Homo-oligomer: A and B are copies of this chain.
Amino acid sequence: MSLNIVFPGATRQLADFVVATNYSDLPQATLDAGRRSLVNFLGVAVGGAHHEEVESALKALHRLGAGGNVPLLGRPDRIDAVNAALINGTSSAVLDFDSTQMKRTNIHPSGPVLPAILAFAHGRAISGPDFIAAFILGVEVACRIANGVFGEHNPGWHVTGVTGGIGAAAAVSKLLGLDAEKTVAAMAIAANQASGLREMYGTACKALTPGRAARDGLLSAMLAAEGVSAPDRPIEGRKGLAMVFTGHEAPRSLTKELGDRYEIELNIFKPYPCAIVTHAVIDGVSRLCAGEEIDPADIAEIQLEVAPIAAELAGHAAPQTALQSKFSLTHAAAIAATHRVARVEHFSDEALHDAGYAALRTSVGVQSRKGLKKNEAHVLIRTNDAKTHELHVEHALGSLERPMSDDDIAEKFLGLVEPVLGGERAHALLGRAIELHMSTDAGSLADYPG
């Protein structure tokens, strides 16, 4: 049934905004937020670039004859742009350490958007300011749809996969200089590939999802540029994304205050390489054990109260794989009790099978409590002397209320990148990312093989 369009729909409004907005329109606080997200993304992507899942994905692509000349972050090999987006997006997710926007749902917007524009930028002399604007606008689109459509209604979608590709398509459309009509088409073609199930959480294939979204967003924009047609209302139409994915109409809030505020400013950075909903527990157990000088050997039990969504998303009480241990409140508490921090090596196979952590995990009880926020937790530790120690974490480290500083993020970046690129080149890449607004070739961010 054709609709008579009498006023622009939400998708068109978003596209109009993408077309009309340029680097010079963006407030400094927004640009600062964009820079932090870029640095964090490059850190986690280079840091994850040699993970076994990335190796597996590349082997699979090579066995299918893929090849090309676009560099991969933190790696020596090259591939075509579409698959470079897939691989770099996957690299950024394998450590579960990327930035997150948690306004009304959970989305990791950098993972789909940045790999798409980075692969596109190779050999195209895209300026730093243009690249940064495209990134921020792509994140805007991905997060607005994520929060607007999936904030209240989500039967089990991996939202990064569902709306990330639409944001990536918008970002590449911006770099291609597409008009609003073609930008809508790019977003629609990406919406037609929107996918990702929470059932995958705790398995390796989850990390492919932002890569898949990056790949599809990039190709969608190029298809729209080549004239492939698509519907005018892919998000808000009768059989569009909102109705079909959630059974509810796209809300008007989707386009509210466009340009008055930017979603990227709500992007937050993890201090710990595991599910963000475990952070309040890691923070609380670490601080309680440090402050009260609790030795892990003296712990009789740890009782956690967390938000229902935390109990659900990090509910692997007895994790069976290293990956599941990142989505395990019991493992998070065991690690924090032992080390008063949590690092990449604490979510390895070796750590999973460590008898000390395993024993501590069985001493952890998790209560889901309505009213607690995702970054909130109550921690009670009973020691063998029958004493109880309690701490309430109102806002976990890394939350919007207690964010990582620029220096924290740089330190995180170097911790991840130095082992891959060496100290000198890690510092060089960090400098280039921080000064990207002065670059005439943003694609050269990928010219640091490792």
Interface residues of A (CB under 8 A from B): 1-2, 52-53, 56-57, 59-61, 63-70, 80-83, 119-120, 155-158, 161, 185, 188-189, 191-206, 208-209, 212, 218-219, 222-223, 225-231, 233-234, 237-241, 243-244, 247, 312, 315-318, 320-321, 323-324
Sorted nearest first, the 9 A-B pairs with minimum C-beta distance are: A156-B239, A60-B222, A56-B226, A156-B244, A65-B80, A64-B81, A195-B195, A199-B239, A204-B229
> Whole-angstrom distance between the alpha carbons of A23 and B57 in the complex?
31
Q: How far is the CB of A200 from chain B (nearest CB, A)?
A: 5
Q: How far is the CB of A230 from chain B (nearest CB, A)?
A: 4
Q: How far is the CB of A249 from chain B (nearest CB, A)?
A: 12
A318: nearest chain-B partner, CB-CB:
B2
Residue among B1, B212, B225 making CB contact with A193, cutoff 8 Å = B212
- The 26 listed contacts between A and B (C-beta, < 8 Å) are A2-B317, A52-B227, A60-B226, A63-B226, A64-B80, A64-B119, A65-B69, A65-B70, A155-B243, A156-B243, A185-B205, A192-B199, A193-B212, A199-B231, A199-B239, A199-B241, A199-B244, A200-B231, A201-B239, A202-B231, A203-B230, A203-B231, A204-B228, A205-B223, A205-B230, A208-B223
Are B80 and A67 in contact, CB atoms less than 8 angstroms apart?
yes
A80: nearest chain-B partner, CB-CB:
B65
Residue of A80, A225, A233, A316 with highest tally of chain B CB at under 10 A = A80
Q: How far is the CB of A158 from chain B (nearest CB, A)?
A: 8
Q: Which residues of B contact A239 (CB under 8 A)?
A: 155-156, 197-199, 201
Q: Which residues of B contact A318 (CB under 8 A)?
A: 2
> Whole-angstrom distance between the alpha carbons of A212 and B208 in the complex?
16
Q: Which residues of B contact A233 (CB under 8 A)?
A: 199
Q: How far is the CB of A380 from chain B (nearest CB, A)?
A: 23
Q: How far is the CB of A368 from chain B (nearest CB, A)?
A: 12
Q: Which residues of B contact A196 (CB under 8 A)?
A: 192-193
Extra pairs beyond A185-B205, A192-B197, A203-B230 (9, CB < 8 Å): A64-B222, A155-B239, A155-B243, A156-B239, A158-B192, A191-B199, A199-B240, A205-B228, A205-B230
Q: Which residues of B contact A241 (CB under 8 A)?
A: 197, 199
> Whole-angstrom distance between the alpha carbons of A157 and B57 in the complex?
28
Q: Which residues of B contact A68 (CB under 8 A)?
A: 65-67
Are A60 and B204 in contact, CB atoms less than 8 angstroms apart?
no
Are B191 and A192 in contact, CB atoms less than 8 angstroms apart?
no
Residue among B189, B199, B321 making CB contact with A238, cutoff 8 Å = B199
> Whole-angstrom distance between the alpha carbons of A80 and B86 in the complex?
15
Are A195 and B197 in contact, CB atoms less than 8 angstroms apart?
no
Are B157 and A219 in contact, CB atoms less than 8 angstroms apart?
no
